A and B are shown apart, each in its own frame.
Chain A
Amino acid sequence: MFSSGIDAVVPMLCVTLAALAVMGAEAFRARGEQLPLGGLGVVGLVGAAISAVLLWNRNAVSFGVVVADNFGLFVTLVLLLVALLTIMFSSTVVRRDGLPAGEYYALVLFATAGMIMMATANDLLVVFIALEILSIAVYVLTGIRRDDSRAIEAAFKYFLLGAFSSAFFLYGIAFTYGLAGSTRLDRVGTYMAAQSMSGNPLILVALGLLLVGFAFKISAVPFHMWTPDAYEGAPAVVTGFMSTGVKAAAFAAFARVFLSVFEPFSGEWAPLVWLLAAATMILGTVVGVAQSNLKRMLAYSSIAHGGYLLVGLVAANQVGKAAILFYLLAYAVTNLAAFGVIALLGTREAANDELRDYAGLWHTRPALAALMTVCLLSLGGLPPTAGFIGKWYIFSAAVSAGYYGLAVIGVLTSVVSVFFYLRVVVMMYMTDRPAAIAPPPVSAVAMAALVASIAAIIALGILPTPVLDFAAQSIATIF
C-alpha cells in the first residue's frame, strides 16, 4: 500500500499554489492596482477539481499518510465547490466592505487546502496539522474586519475555544500513539481490532479525548458554545464558508477515524454519539426558535444539522454511510446559498442581518427573496429540495438500524425548525412595511453563484439517485 508518489496530494497542492500565487500577487501589486485575485483562486480550485476527478478509483497513497480514496475525493469535491461558491460571493463583499483582498482570498484558499488535507489524511498527526491549518486561517477570516469590534470578539471566542479543543484532540492522539506505537490510521486500526476484547481503560480515554476534539469542531452540544457567537460576529460570507467547509472536513475525518479505526469499539462510543446527536438536534432547534438575528438563527440551525449528521454516523449501516455524504453536500450548498443572500443584502455600514430587516423584502428584491425561500425550505427539509432527500435517507437509515428514538427526535425537531425558517419567509412576503434600507446592487458573479446553488438544491431534490449512488460507491472504499 505504501507509495511515495505525490499523486494523492495534487488537489491540495493546486489549492496551496493558488494561495501562494494570490499572496505573491498581493505583495508585488502596485498601489491602487486592482488584480483579479479571486479569479486566480478559481483557477487553482478548478485545477484541484480536475485532479480529484482524475484520481477517482485509483486509491493513490502519498508518503503513507495522505490517501486519495473515493471517500476523501468525494469530500474534496464538496469542499472545492464550497470554496468556489465562497469566492464567487466574496467578489462583491470584498469590494464593498473594503476587505484586504490578497489576505482574504489567500486565507480562504489556505483554509480550503487544510480542509482537503483533513478529509484525505490517513495519519492522526496529519489530521491534527490539517485541523490547525484550517482553524488558524478561519480564526483570522472571522476577525478580518478589524474595525468591527463584534467581529474581533467573535474571532477571539472562536480562537480560544478552538485552541482549547485542539489540546484535547492532541491529548487523545498522544494516548493513541502510546497504545498503538504509531499514529498511522491503518496501524492504529490493526491494533484496535486486536484489542477489541481487552477492555484496556486507556483506549477509552483516547477515544473520549478524540471524541471531545471532534465534537468541538462539528459544534455538537455541549461543545457548541462558540458557534453562535463566531457565526454571528463573522462577515456573512465567512460564516457561510466556515459553517459548511469546516463542518464537512471535520465530519470526514470524524467518520474516517471512528467508523474505520475505532469500529471495534463502536459498542463504547455509539451510545455517547447517540446522546450527542439527540442533545444537538434538540438544543439547536429549541434555542433557534428564540433568535431574532438571522445569522444567529442559522448558527443554531447549523448546530441542529450537525446533529442530523451525527444520527447518520450512529446508524452506520450502508444507507447511513451514503446518507452522511449526501447530506454533507446538500447542507453545504443550501447553507452557503443562504449566507450568500445575507451577505449580499448587507452594506458596509450595516450588516442588515436582523429578522426585521427582511420585512417586505419581496417588494424591494423579489429575486433574492425567492432564492432565500428555496434555501430556507431546503434547510427545513421540505420537498422537493435537497434537504428533504438528505433528511429522508438519514432518518430511514436510523430506523433500519433500529434507532427509533433518534429518528423520532429528528423528525420532531425538523417539524419545529420549519417554524423558524417559515417565520423568515412570512417576514419577507407577508409584511407590508418595506425594508428601511434599500439593499445594494448585486454583481452578476454573485448572482450566478446563487442561481447555480439553487439549481443544485432543486436538482438534488428531484433527481438524487446519481449522487446517492456516487456517495455509496465512494464511502464503500473506507468501510
Chain B
Amino acid sequence: MIPLGHYLIVSAMLFAIGTAGVFLRRNLITILLSIEIMLNAVNLSFVAFGRQFGSVDGQIIVFFVMTVAAAEAAVGLAIVIALFRHRESLNPDAFTSLKW
C-alpha cells in the first residue's frame, strides 16, 4: 500500500505546478488550465485523506469540487471569448485599459 505522504507530495507538486503556470504562462487558456490543475491537485489530497480515514467523505467532496470547477470553467471561458472579441488577443499583457 502506498503511504499517505506520497499522495500528499504529488498533490503539493501538482499544486505548485499549477500556481507557477498561472504566474508564468502568457496565454489565457493555459492560465485557466493551470487553475484546473490546482483544483485537481486539491482533489487528490481529498481522496488520499478520505482513504486514510476509511470514509467516503473525501470522495464525495471531490464530486462537489468537480461540479464547481466545471461551472467556473464555463463562466471563465465565456469571459475569455467576450474578451477575445474586443481585443483579438489571448495575451494577458495586452489588457491594460485598466491599470493592472
A residues touching B (Cβ–Cβ < 8 Å)? 125, 128-129, 132, 136, 139-140, 143, 146, 149-150, 152-157, 159-160, 163-164, 166-167, 170-171, 174-175, 177-178, 181-183, 225, 228-229, 232-233
CA distance in complex: A152, B49 (Å): 39
B64 near A174 with CB under 8 A, answer no
List 8 A–B pairs whose Cβ atoms lie within 8 Å, in order of A's numbering: A136-B72, A140-B75, A143-B79, A171-B15, A182-B57, A183-B61, A225-B100, A229-B99
B82 — which chain A residues lie within 8 A by C-beta? 143, 146, 152, 155
One of B22, B42, B65, B79 near A156 (C-beta < 8 A): B79
Residue of B nearest to A225 (CB): B100
Q: Tell me how far the C-beta of B76 lies from the nearest C-beta in chain A, rounded to whole angstroms.
A: 6
Distance, CA A225 to CA B72, complexed state (A): 20
> B residues near A, CB below 8 A?
8, 15, 18, 22, 28, 31-32, 35, 38-39, 41-42, 45-46, 48-49, 52-53, 55, 57-58, 61, 64-65, 68, 71-72, 75-76, 78-80, 82-83, 86-87, 95, 97-100
Chain B residue nearest to A179 (CB atoms) is B49
Which residues of the other chain, A, contact B86 by a CB distance below 8 angstroms? 149, 152-153
Quick check: B49 and A139 within 8 Å, CB to CB? no
Contact of A170 with B75 in the complex, beta carbons under 8 Å: no
Give the chain B neighbours of A149 by CB distance below 8 A: 83, 86-87, 97
The answer to whether A129 and B49 touch (CB under 8 A), given A136-B75, A143-B82, A156-B83, is no
Contact A181 B53, beta carbon cutoff 8 Å: yes
With A143-B79, A164-B22 as contacts: A170 and B71 at CB distance below 8 Å: no
Q: Say yes or no: A154 contacts B98, CB within 8 Å.
A: yes
Q: Find out whether the CB atom of A132 lies under 8 angstroms from the CB atom of B79.
A: no
CA A150 to CA B99, docked complex, whole Å: 11
- What residues on B are CB-neighbors of A159 within 8 Å? 75-76, 79
Please report the C-alpha to C-alpha distance between residue A182 and residue B35 in the assembled complex, in whole angstroms: 25
Residue of B35, B52, B61, B97 near A163 (CB, 8 A) is: B35
Q: How far is the CA of A225 from the CA of B79 in the complex (A)?
A: 19
Complexed CA–CA distance, A225 and B98 (Å): 12
Known pairs A128-B68, A132-B72, A167-B35; A153 contacts B61 (CB<8 A):
no
Decide: A163 near B76, CB < 8 A? Known: A132-B68, A136-B71, A157-B98.
Answer: yes
- B48: A residues at CB distance < 8 A: 178
B8 neighbours in A (Cβ, 8 Å): 178
Known: A156-B79, A159-B79, A177-B58. A170 touches B98 (CB 8 A): no
Write the chain B residue with the least CB distance to A148.
Answer: B86
- Check A171 against B42 for contact (C-beta < 8 Å): yes
Closest-CB distance, A149 to chain B (whole angstroms): 4
Contact for B42 among A163, A164, A174, A229, CB less than 8 A: A174
Within the complex, which residue of B38, B95, B97 is in contact with A167, where a contact is CB–CB below 8 Å?
Answer: B38
Do the beta carbons of B79 and A177 come within 8 Å of each other?
A: no
Tell me the complex Cα distance, A13–B6, Å.
43
**Further pairs besides A153-B97, A164-B38, A183-B57: 16, Cβ < 8 Å:** A140-B78, A149-B97, A150-B97, A154-B98, A164-B22, A167-B39, A171-B41, A171-B42, A171-B45, A174-B49, A177-B49, A177-B61, A178-B8, A182-B57, A228-B98, A232-B98
Tell me whether A170 and B42 are in contact (CB under 8 A).
Answer: yes
Chain B residues with CB under 8 Å of A164's CB are 22, 35, 38
Q: Closest A residue to B38 by CB, please name it.
A: A167
Which residues of B are found within 8 Å of A128, using beta-carbon distances?
64-65, 68
Does A153 lie within 8 Å of B98, measured CB to CB?
A: yes
Q: Which residue of A lies closest to B65 (CB)?
A: A170
Say whether B46 contacts A174, CB under 8 Å: yes
How close is A239's CB to chain B, nearest CB, in angstroms? 13
B98 touches A132 (CB 8 A): no
What 3 pairs across the A-B complex have the smallest Cβ distances? A167-B38, A149-B86, A178-B49
How far apart are the CA atoms of A159 and B80 in the complex, in Å? 10
B33, chain A: closest CB distance, angstroms = 12
